[in-house]
Structure 1
Amino acid sequence: MRKQYLSAPLPFVGQKRMYIKDFKEVLKQFPDDAVYVDLFGGSGLLSHITKWEKPDATVIYNDFDNYSQRLNNIERTNALLAEIREIVGNFPRRERLSPEIREKILHLLDEEGKNGFMDYITLSTSLMFSMKYATDLDGLKKESFYNTVRQSNYVCDGYLDGLQVVSCDYKELVAKYRNIQNVVYLVDPPYLSTEVGTYRMRWRLSDYLDVLSVLVGSSYIYFTSDKSDILELCQWLGKNHWGGNPFAEAGQKSMHRTMNYSSSYTDIMLYKTVFNKAT
């Protein structure tokens, strides 16, 4: 039986699991048979939910960060975590691991890394506290280890079913689908002024502004935060007639997020349809 995932099967910075309820509600305003192009697919969660909610739709998942490679190696990752659990043994949960245990784990990963792909992002979540990730062995070697080892296997059965998976620059997809009717862009770029260490892209302000050109005249669901000041910038552009505001008349849903006792921000989802839902 096909399973609906409400969070990505493997860890990924910026996945929209907290937005799933609102995202589903917003999707109802868009056609059931549209072409949904997930320009910055990330973990694929938005693509997965879109295909689940609209089975007749064509959903393009741009896996620019090679998340599917991590999914394809999930059994290998589970096997490594089983070995790590044995090394850790009965060491107290969430306590800092001893130097001896840490060295044994690093030796295991060093040796296994010689035999093929390693999902360091997933493995590091079992050795470091939440919101901290390492993308390679060198990154892990710089960190203290804690017993946060996952006690169950990861599963991803059917997660990508029905999706068209591609991996390319988002501009290639825009060029391909720009003149096709019934297209909806799902746009979730790494947030401006936010840590993007686990993403492959390295963006500047101009890159974020380039994305806004995709929204003009298009149907879209776009994600940002109040840390980026993108909304304020677009309002200024529209007010001063510098190309208009792509978010004019867009719907909006917001969610306050707390990172820690001294840090918080607001997630923002904007959406607009330029065609009748019954089309």
Structure 2
Amino acid sequence: MKKIYYSAPLPFVGQKRMFAKEFKKVLEQFPDGTTFVDLFGGSGLLSHITKSEKPHSKVVYNDFDGYRLRLEHVPQTNELLSELRKIVRELPKHKPIVGGARKQIFECLIKHQDRYGYLDFITISSSLLFSMKYCLNIDDMNKETLYNNIRSTDYPLCDGYLDGLTIVSADYKQVFNQYKDTPNVVFLVDPPYLSTEVGTYKMYWKLADYLDVLSVLAGHSFVYFTSNKSSILELCDWIGRNKHIGNPFEKCTKVEFNARMNYNSTYTDMMLYKNAG
């Protein structure tokens, strides 16, 4: 019998494992044979569960973040973790890695990347960095404190996890346009959350990008995920109650000033003005 995963087999920021059982209940509303399009596929967990529950449905998994490449390299990642365990075997768990051990860690990472031409930084970050902190290259990781959080067992090979899925890798708008006129289509919409760290995604998200996602919901069946940190529902409710206002900043003049908090943190102050007289 095919294994059904209720959490992603490799670390991924924002995977929906806490929603897995409730998501299965939502899927019961749609007949088998429905087309499901996972616009922000992420770890593929929603697509995997959907295909497991609806085996006769077409399930489109938009792997924009390259998760399947990480799955393909699990054997190499396990090999690297085995080498890292040897380096830290005498060190206390969950404590900083310093001195010669830290130097050995980076020598090991560089050697592994040179050997295979690939390194799964997100998975390795979960073993070497503070909880929920991720780096995407060695230079950035070298700026961080390393911790001995190295996983004690290998990751499973994940055979069958993506079986039966139609896998694409494109901007969600392109995928949406391809399937928006498909009969009985359901869009799975799990964008990066507003006001939440999105450092592991391959794109930079502005407020307008979050709002653009809402346009795919109109007139379609969907399952949409958000967070109370984003205030997106509150914003939409306010706009719905104040349709007459429009854009109060239209025809304003904007003045910007770049400010610096410290050596690696900057922000932009803005002043907008309009003379309505």
> Shared fold (TM-score greater than 0.5)?
yes
Q: TM-score, normalised by structure 2?
A: 0.85
User: Does the alignment pair 1:168 with 2:167?
Assistant: no
CA–CA distance in structure 2, aligned partners of residues 51 and 7 of structure 1: 15
Matches within 5 A, 1:75-224: 75-115=75-115, 116-155=117-156, 156-224=158-226
Aligned to 2:234: 232
CA deviation after TM superposition for structure 1 residue 90, in Å = 2.8
Corresponding residue number in structure 2 for 1:255: none
Give the stretch that moved more between structures: 226-235 or 178-187. 226-235
What is the root-mean-square deviation of aligned Cα atoms in Å? 1.2
C-alpha deviations, 1:59-99, integer Å up to 9, x for none?
A: 00000001111111110000000011111123221122231
The structure with more radius of gyration: 2
Letter in structure 1 aligned against 2:135? A
Shift of 1:157: 1.5
Where do 4+ consecutive residues of structure 1 move more than 2 Å? Answer: 236-242
Instruction: Show structure 2 runs of 5+ residues with no match.
Output: 245-277
Amino acid of the residue matched to residue 170 of structure 2?
C
Within 2, Cα distance between the matches of 1:127 and 1:142?
12
Unaligned runs of 5+ in 1: 243-279
- Separation (CA, whole Å) in 2 of partners of 1:213 and 1:31: 25
Q: Distance in 2 between matches of 1:157 and 1:199?
A: 25
Q: Sequence identity of aligned pairs in percent?
A: 58
Q: Deviations over 1:222-278 (max 9, x none)?
A: 001111121112112323347xxxxxxxxxxxxxxxxxxxxxxxxxxxxxxxxxxxx
Secondary structure of the residue aligned to 1:126 is helix
**2:28 maps to 1:28:** yes
For 1:18 and 1:90, the matched residues in 2 are separated by 35
The answer to whether residue 40 in structure 2 is matched with residue 40 in structure 1 is yes
Aligned equivalents of 1:10, 1:139: Cα separation in 2: 21
1:127-151 deviation digits (Å, cap 9, x = unpaired): 1222111111012101111111101
Q: Once structures 1 and 2 are overlaid, which stretch shifts more, 3-12 or 95-104?
A: 95-104
Q: Does the residue aligned with 2:2 lie in a helix, a strand or coil? A: coil
Segment drifting more, 34-43 vs 126-135: 126-135
